[in-house]
Amino acid sequence: MRPAPSGTVIDTSGAVIPGAEVTITNKATLRATMVTTNPTGFYSASALEAGIYDVSIKKEGFKAFVSEGVKLDPGESLGQNATLELGSTTTTVTVAASAAKIETVSGESSGTITGSHVQQLMINGRNYLGLALLIPGVNSASISGRAGVGGGSLNAGGLTGESPISVNGLGRDQSALYTIDGSYNMAVANSINMPIVPPLDTISEFRLLKDNYSAKYGGTGSAQVMVESKSGSQSFHGAVYEFLRNDKVDAAPFFTPIDPVTNKKVKLPLRQNNYGFAFSGPFYIPGKFNVDKKKAFVFYNEEWRARLSPLTARGAMIPQDMRNGDFTNSPTRPATGLVFDAVAQNTLSLLYPGVNCLPDSTHVNPACFDQNAVKIMNDYWPLPNIPSAGFLNYINPGVDKVNSLDDTIRFD
């Protein structure tokens, strides 16, 4: 949702002033939005971009009123009232907007992460949701075996783009709604994954509505997470960046196996490179189009993510004694012992006539094994490497490789 400033214009006696001209100007682009007050002195401007604005109000017979540096956050309904004094319109009364805003239009509870937070605070994996934890009442959720913001911090969108935050104790993944510039940003199939995880260098700011927000926000019963992307301005700006991590300063994961030669944990590679560039400014053709640089603006960002991280998988492998037909120590053997049903007995008697395939309740005669299956098992299924671990008796350390490229283009 876009910001929607509104307010009432009155004179010094408290009477409302209809027909006053209200101009709301974006300081970065100098784009102006003009509205007039209605018969009750009320005005409202909708669908503005988040940013810093100057609000000027004029009416014949009154001094002009200007409020400078009014900050509009994503989805905010900001109240900006004004009192006009009698006098000439050539005389201006200027006030500076307060840095600490008080919500007077609605009872919603929210928190805003500004552009300076986004740019300056370090986050593992550079996922903007890590910054949401700065807002009171917001926690990292660990749902369905996932590891919350920390575990999902390295994702780059799509099926890996988790939304693992809990707001005010409501912990399910599906409880919050995510948007970018007002557009729905949730996987329709499960309402958990985010198709797009915007790079930090593309975010102007984001706002999280926690409760008591307007009925215009639908879809979920918990938080509304609204991201505002960066836009171009009248001047050109550019940036080149790289953020990295590697295993040189990291300890080995807990389940990493021991090297039998050095008797030390095998240190698996960790490489995390996040690099890219951004460019923004006015879109114009000298002497032909947008000469005053107030009409068209462009922002472009390209970001690469290259990641190699340790990945340890656990599984169940068949031990040697079971491969030899001895199921005495099998963790899945029934307490009553091994029993063949009538179908198995009939099939085995046809395949192996005269052979006792089940000599007792804990052993199967290896002569009744399918030799093709035995060869596949021996060739492709390794023996357990941690027999004492029970059913999940095998650890397979490896490397998880995730590379991605993200292009962001915004044209206003």
| 364 and 336 both lie in a single domain | yes
Q: Count of residues for the chain?
A: 412
Please indicate, yes or no, if residue 390 is contained in any of the structural domains. Answer: no
| 258 and 401 both lie in a single domain | yes
Please indicate, yes or no, if residue 214 is contained in any of the structural domains. Answer: yes
| 49 and 97 both lie in a single domain | yes
Q: Where are the alpha helices (DSSP H) in 171-257?
A: none
| The last residue of a domain, from among 105, 123, 146 | 105
| 347 and 207 both lie in a single domain | no
CA–CA distance, 68 with 64 (Å, rounded to integer): 13
| The last residue of a domain, from among 40, 71, 105 | 105
**DSSP string of 150-191, one letter each residue:** HHTTT--SGGG----EEETTB--GGGSEEEETTEE-S-TTTS
Beta bridge partners of 84: 11
Please indicate, yes or no, if residue 36 is contained in any of the structural domains. Answer: yes
> What's residue 390's pLDDT?
82
> What's residue 340's pLDDT?
92
| 197 and 275 both lie in a single domain | no
Please indicate, yes or no, if residue 386 is contained in any of the structural domains. Answer: no
> What's residue 178's pLDDT?
87
Q: What is the CATH number of the domain that holds 146?
A: 2.170.130.10
| 262 and 225 both lie in a single domain | no
| The pairing of beta strand 21-26 with beta strand 32-36 | antiparallel
| The pairing of beta strand 271-282 with beta strand 82-84 | unpaired
Please indicate, yes or no, if residue 1 is contained in any of the structural domains. Answer: no
Please indicate, yes or no, if residue 388 is contained in any of the structural domains. Answer: no
| 93 and 123 both lie in a single domain | no
| 269 and 402 both lie in a single domain | yes
**DSSP string of 71-102, one letter each residue:** EE-TT---B--EEEPBS-TTSEEEEEPPSS--
> What's residue 144's pLDDT?
46
Cα 395 to Cα 179, 315, 384: the distances in Å are 40, 7, 8
> What's residue 297's pLDDT?
94
Helix (H/G/I), strand (E/B), else coil: 227? strand
Q: What is the CATH number of the domain that holds 81?
A: 2.60.40.1120
| The pairing of beta strand 92-96 with beta strand 109-113 | unpaired
Q: Is residue 53 classed exposed, middle or buried when 0-12, 13-18 and 19+ CB atoms within 10 A define those classes? A: buried
Structure tokens given for 299: 């922002």
| 124 and 144 both lie in a single domain | yes
| The last residue of a domain, from among 191, 207, 229 | 229
| 325 and 402 both lie in a single domain | no
pLDDT along the chain (412 residues), means of 10: 81 93 90 92 86 90 90 80 85 68 64 78 79 83 52 57 72 75 82 81 88 76 86 92 83 71 76 91 92 92 87 87 93 89 93 93 94 94 87 84 89 92
> What's residue 69's pLDDT?
87
List b or e across 108-146, with b for residues whose CB sees 16 or more CB atoms inside 10 angstroms: bbbbbbbbebbeeeebebbbbbbbbeebeebbbbebeee
Q: What's the pTM? A: 0.68
Query: What's the 3-state SS for 103-116?
Result: CCCCCCEEEEECHH
Please indicate, yes or no, if residue 10 is contained in any of the structural domains. Answer: yes
Residue 236 has a CB neighbour count (10 Å cut-off) of: 10
Please indicate, yes or no, if residue 32 is contained in any of the structural domains. Answer: yes
* Domains identified in the chain, total number: 4
Instruction: List the domain range (segments joined by +) for residue 260.
Output: 232-313+395-412
| 110 and 196 both lie in a single domain | yes
Q: Are 337 and 327 in contact (CB under 8 A)?
A: no
> What's residue 240's pLDDT?
96
| 198 and 326 both lie in a single domain | no
